[in-house]
């Protein structure tokens, strides 16, 4: 009789053997000075190499995909070289690391884009504000992409995937969640196009699927994942038929035999904003034949429970990995956890960037 699967059970993810089912979730930390990864970032990720898989913070595929100060990129030779020190440091500790490829779309601002307007499927402004080099600003109405520009952005995703391979990553995750460009094309609240990328669910999903196809031409498909957030309300995101929209996409993703899909549960803000799909995992699990990573503020017991019920195959942890570089070791012996400090989640220009980043103690140090 086999033992019960839990967070510490190894798992085969395509061609890669993961030491456990604890994934370090992608988290924006804004420590890449001038968009170039730093030795401090290498230290941060290496500290957390005991995760079964690390997924990096969102990483720009072009200068015009930026939405945040000190967000890293993967479009220049300098960035590729700088990321190499991160992957080397993680691999030296026996870890596995995927790069998250990202385009912010309408969640940008001319102050971050050398005066250019952000681009989006449609000229519909996101709700909310952004921090820019000139202070906090309200999001502006983006410029709608011309049909012939869309292939150029798909090519930027493809090139980003190649650059990630050259930087030594073990794979890539496409950021298809949280109201950024791929998500903006998918949901009808942000996509009111009348060409082949708008209108029907099939048309709105076209951009996402073409990006997946392009990236799978660079990497073996079992080294490509995608993150989706069917219940996200960030930046004013909404869809008139979220279950139908995301069901179509998830069924189509079966064709690619990806490493995984990474599904986000709604958070308190989503649940308070409107009636959203909840829970996400049980809604879509029956539709997907491959591995699913779930993310939803899980603790150890909740993470184990979701694996026992087979609703997910891996569990990603965000804030717990911020505050506990050795989270798997702490979970293994039920050690006390460090508390995360939200004031230092994001790097600000007047702040010591190590503060709340690489200075959380491990068990060995404490």
Query: Taking the model in full, what pTM does it have?
Result: 0.97
pLDDT score at 226: 99
Residues 14 and 133: their CA atoms lie apart, in Å, by: 42
Q: Of 29, 67, 70, 75, which Cα lies nearest the Cα of 48?
A: 29
**How high is the pLDDT of residue 364?**
84
- 180 is an active site residue: yes
Backbone angles phi, psi at 124, to 5 degrees: -125, 120
From the candidates 44, 68, 75, 180, give the one annotated as an active-site residue. Answer: 180
The β-bridge partners of 132 are: 135
Alpha helices by DSSP H, listed for the chain, are 39-47, 77-92, 147-166, 181-186, 201-204, 206-216, 242-253, 268-273, 280-284, 300-308, 319-323, 327-333
Per-residue pLDDT of the chain (366 residues; tens, 9 = 90+): 346 999 999 999 999 999 999 999 999 999 999 999 999 999 999 999 999 999 999 999 999 999 999 999 999 999 999 999 999 999 999 999 999 999 999 999 999 999 999 999 999 999 999 999 999 999 999 999 999 999 999 999 999 999 999 999 999 999 999 999 999 999 999 999 999 999 999 999 999 999 999 999 999 999 999 999 999 999 999 999 999 999 999 999 999 999 999 999 999 999 999 999 999 999 999 999 999 999 999 999 999 999 999 999 999 999 999 999 999 999 999 999 999 999 999 987 667 899 999 999 999 865
The neighbouring-strand residues paired with 119 are 143
Task: Evaluate whether 308 touches 287 at the Cβ level (below 8 Å).
Answer: no
What's residue 351's pLDDT? 72
The residue ranges of every structural domain in the chain are: 11-344
At CA 224, angle to CA 221 and CA 230, rounded to 5?
Answer: 120
Phi and psi torsions of 309, nearest 5°: -80, -5
Query: Is CATH 3.20.20.70 correct for 11-344?
Result: yes
Q: How far is CA 181 from CA 5, 61, 280, in A?
A: 36, 12, 21
CB 141 within 8 A of CB 192: no
β-bridge pairing 135-138 and 129-132: antiparallel
What pLDDT was estimated at residue 1? 31
Closest to 292 measured CA to CA, from 281, 278, 303, 279: 281
């Amino acid at each position: 009789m086999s033992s019960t699967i839990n967070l510490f059970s190894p798992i085969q993810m395509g061609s890669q053997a993961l030491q456990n089912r604890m994934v370090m979730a992608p988290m924006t930390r804004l420590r890449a000075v001038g968009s170039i990864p730093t030795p401090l970032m290498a230290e941060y990720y290496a500290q957390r190499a005991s995760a079964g898989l690390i997924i990096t913070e969102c990483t720009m595929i072009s200068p015009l995909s930026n939405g945040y100060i000190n967000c890293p990129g993967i479009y220049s030779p300098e960035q590729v070289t700088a990321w190499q020190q991160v992957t080397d440091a993680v691999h030296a500790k026996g870890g596995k690391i995927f790069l998250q490829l990202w385009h912010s779309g309408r969640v940008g601002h001319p102050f971050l884009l050398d005066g250019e307007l952000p681009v989006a499927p449609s000229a519909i402004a996101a709700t909310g504000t952004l921090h820019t080099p000139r202070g906090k600003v309200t999001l502006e109405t983006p410029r709608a992409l011309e049909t012939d520009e869309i292939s150029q952005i798909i090519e930027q995703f493809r090139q980003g995937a190649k650059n990630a391979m050259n930087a030594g990553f073990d794979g890539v995750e496409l950021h298809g969640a949280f109201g950024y460009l791929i998500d903006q094309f998918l949901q009808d609240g942000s996509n009111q196009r009348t060409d082949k990328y708008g209108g029907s669910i099939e048309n709105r999903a076209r951009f996402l699927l073409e990006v997946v196809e392009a990236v799978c031409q660079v990497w073996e498909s079992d080294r490509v994942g995608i993150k989706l957030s069917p219940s996200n309300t960030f930046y004013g995101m909404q869809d008139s038929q979220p279950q139908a929209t995301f069901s179509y996409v998830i069924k189509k993703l079966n064709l690619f035999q990806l490493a995984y899909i990474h599904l986000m549960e709604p958070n308190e803000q989503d649940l308070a904003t409107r009636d959203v799909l909840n829970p996400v995992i049980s809604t879509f699990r029956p539709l997907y034949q491959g591995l699913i990573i779930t993310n939803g503020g899980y603790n150890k017991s909740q993470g184990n429970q979701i694996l026992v019920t087979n609703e997910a195959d891996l569990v990603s942890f965000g804030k717990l990995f911020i505050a506990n570089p050795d989270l798997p070791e702490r979970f293994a012996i039920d050690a006390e956890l460090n508390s995360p400090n939200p004031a230092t989640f994001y790097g600000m220009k007047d702040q010591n960037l190590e503060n709340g980043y690489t200075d959380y103690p491990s068990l060995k140090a404490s």
